[in-house]
Amino acid sequence: MARGAVVWGRGGGGGKFCCSFKRITVVVCCVNLVAALLVLRTFYTSFSLVSSSDPFSVDQLERIQESIRVRRDAEPVELVRAVRKLRKELLKDEKRVLKLPQPVKQKLANEILQKLQSVKDNNVTEQREMLKRALASNWQMLLEAIGLWLPADVVHTEHNDKPENEQDLEEIIPGRPLPPECHAKTHTDYDGAAVRWGLTHHQESAADCCQACLDQAKNAKPGEMKCNIWVYCPSEFGCYSPDIYKHKHQECWLKQAEKPRLNFKDEYSESYRNNHPNAPVVVPWISGIVGA
């Protein structure tokens, strides 16, 4: 196969021009490269023109400037200045207002009296005496006379207008009244051996719980423990106890103890509540000792 040479002749046997395929390929590549550079230059020139051109026309710029000028002219400059000045004056007045303690007020009053006593002019004698009487009698009256008012100390006094022998709201036991033999005590939790577990023994009221204790002691068989302590939970939210159980509303515990002993009374101590974060302040149980 030929080595890729092309020969052109001019005239009969004149000069010959010989060009290989390799040279033709190089020439074509160079032409393509020049064309690509020209296209890139055209794109770059057009992009530069677009980016450098102003997005607004001359007419639009004039309208924008006119709008800014109108808005500035419409701004209430004097009003803004007056508000700023008033704000500064109010801040100064706030700094001047001081809450003086009573000893300082008394000291100032004494100093004013000393200054007045040193004045010898007869023209101010009457005014001095008036001011002296005001300072000596009532400091508050003098402050009101000169236009300076300070609120007096508010003293809160509790008035106990509750009728005698009336129970507090928290002492009212829900349900029917308890008979005297129940010896009911609110906010009290007695200890003792369980005759009937309250977790499975509920009663409608404290009176019913006490009656259940009386009935159990009356009907107990020989050798069985007889109930002499009842403990009832009156709270709808349940009652706290340091054991592992969650005690619910209307739990009725029947217990027995030869010498009844208090678990808790009235309130849980602060030290106890620090060690038991779930403990409330007030003991929620109602208890009573029945029998001899």
Residue 284, pLDDT score: 92
* Whether residue 269 sits in one domain with residue 209: yes
Per-residue pLDDT band for 2 (boundaries 50, 70, 90) equals very low
* Whether residue 187 sits in one domain with residue 143: no
Q: Is residue 253 part of a domain?
A: yes
Q: How far apart are CA 217 and CA 256, in angstroms?
A: 10
Per-residue pLDDT band for 207 (boundaries 50, 70, 90) equals very high
Work out the percent of the chain whose per-residue pLDDT is above 90. Answer: 26
* Whether residue 194 sits in one domain with residue 133: no
Per-residue pLDDT band for 18 (boundaries 50, 70, 90) equals low
Per-residue pLDDT band for 200 (boundaries 50, 70, 90) equals very high
Q: Is residue 236 part of a domain?
A: yes
Looking from the CA of 225 toward its CB, the CA atoms found within 13 Å total 14
Q: Which amino acid, residue 290?
A: V
Q: How far apart are CA 241 and CA 251, in angstroms?
A: 12
Lowest mean pLDDT among 6-15, 105-114, 163-172, 248-257: 6-15
Residue 10, pLDDT score: 44
Longest dimension (CA), the chain: 157
**Could you tell me if 135 and 109 are in contact, meaning their C-beta atoms sit under 8 angstroms apart?**
yes
* Whether residue 232 sits in one domain with residue 278: yes
Q: What is the mean pLDDT of the chain?
A: 75
* Whether residue 190 sits in one domain with residue 284: yes
Q: How far apart are CA 98 and CA 148, in angstroms?
A: 12
Q: How far apart are CA 138 and CA 17, in angstroms?
A: 132
Three-state secondary structure call for residue 133 = helix
* Whether residue 192 sits in one domain with residue 145: no
Residue 120, pLDDT score: 56
Q: How far apart are CA 14 and CA 126, in angstroms?
A: 146
Say whether pTM exceeds 0.85.
no
* Whether residue 285 sits in one domain with residue 195: yes
Q: Which residue, among 143, 202, 196, has the nearest Cα to 175 in the 3D structure?
A: 202
Q: Is residue 261 part of a domain?
A: yes
The 10s digit of each residue's pLDDT in 35-79 is 888 888 877 776 555 455 455 677 777 888 888 887 777 777 777
Q: What is the 3-state secondary structure (H, E, C) of 8-72?
A: EECCCCCCEEEEEHHHHHHHHHHHHHHHHHHHHHHHHHHHHHHHHCCCCCHHHHHHHHHHHHHHH
Q: How far apart are CA 111 and CA 114, in angstroms?
A: 5
pLDDT at 234 over 60: yes
* Whether residue 285 sits in one domain with residue 184: yes
Domain count, the chain: 2
Q: Is residue 159 part of a domain?
A: no
Residue 287, pLDDT score: 94
Q: Is residue 135 part of a domain?
A: yes
Q: Is residue 184 part of a domain?
A: yes
pLDDT at 8 over 50: no
Task: For 167, list phi and psi in degrees, rounded to 5.
Answer: -75, 145
- Exposed, middle or buried, 26 (CB in 10 Å: 0-12/13-18/19+)? exposed
Q: Is residue 216 part of a domain?
A: yes
Per-residue pLDDT band for 1 (boundaries 50, 70, 90) equals very low
* Whether residue 208 sits in one domain with residue 129: no
Residue 139, pLDDT score: 58
Q: How far apart are CA 213 and CA 232, in angstroms?
A: 11
Lowest mean pLDDT among 113-117, 168-172, 219-223, 262-266: 168-172
Range of the domain at 264: 180-289
CATH number, domain containing residue 186: 3.50.4.10
pLDDT at 150 over 60: no
Residue 133, pLDDT score: 62
As a whole number, mean pLDDT of residues 123-147 equals 59
* Whether residue 145 sits in one domain with residue 231: no
Residue 85, pLDDT score: 82
Q: Is residue 58 part of a domain?
A: no
As a whole number, mean pLDDT of residues 181-194 equals 91
**Could you tell me if 184 and 288 are in contact, meaning their C-beta atoms sit under 8 angstroms apart?**
yes
